Amino acid sequence: MERVVGYCGIVCSDCPILIVTRREDDAARKRVAEMLTRHYGREYKPESINCDGCLSSSTRLWDYCRTCEMRKCARERNVENCASCPDYRCERMPELVVADTEGEDIWGAIRRVLV
């Protein structure tokens, strides 16, 4: 699978939700739902484990991606990702996203090319 980096820096192609969606693997969806339930302390059902990645115009998005302010903003501004935005590092970038992803390294590399 080609590397897909979301607007926020999450590497979508490494995301188990995207992987099982592309494989159409219901047994794996169940395992991913159980893993996410343990990790986040909130119940996830196997049927909610469907996402084509935030760069997609598909309506199949995981709950968080569907409501993500960073995704909404990037799409409204028509930027490739947050690092390519003139207002990079704005208040829409929650610390949780920066801390829980490779986003900071990815954005830094993109910014070095852009600046």
DSSP lists the bridge partners of residue 11 as: 5
Q: Is residue 3 part of a domain?
A: no
Q: How far apart are CA 101 and CA 36, in angstroms?
A: 15
The domain of 88 spans 12-114
Q: Is residue 98 part of a domain?
A: yes
The one-digit pLDDT tens for each residue of the chain (115 residues) are 788 888 877 788 888 899 999 999 999 999 999 988 988 889 999 999 999 988 988 889 988 888 888 899 999 999 988 888 888 777 777 665 555 556 566 556 555 654 4
> Considering its fold, how many domains does the chain have in total?
1
Q: Is residue 102 part of a domain?
A: yes
Three-state SS for 5? strand
Q: Is residue 5 part of a domain?
A: no
What's the predicted TM-score (pTM) here?
0.74
Q: Is residue 4 part of a domain?
A: no
- Give the Cβ contact number of residue 12 at 10 Å: 23
* Among the listed residues 87, 78, 83, 86, the one whose alpha carbon sits nearest the alpha carbon of residue 112: 83
Q: Is residue 28 part of a domain?
A: yes
Contacts of residue 80, Cβ cutoff 8 Å, sequence gap at least 6 = 74
Q: Is residue 24 part of a domain?
A: yes
Q: Is residue 19 part of a domain?
A: yes
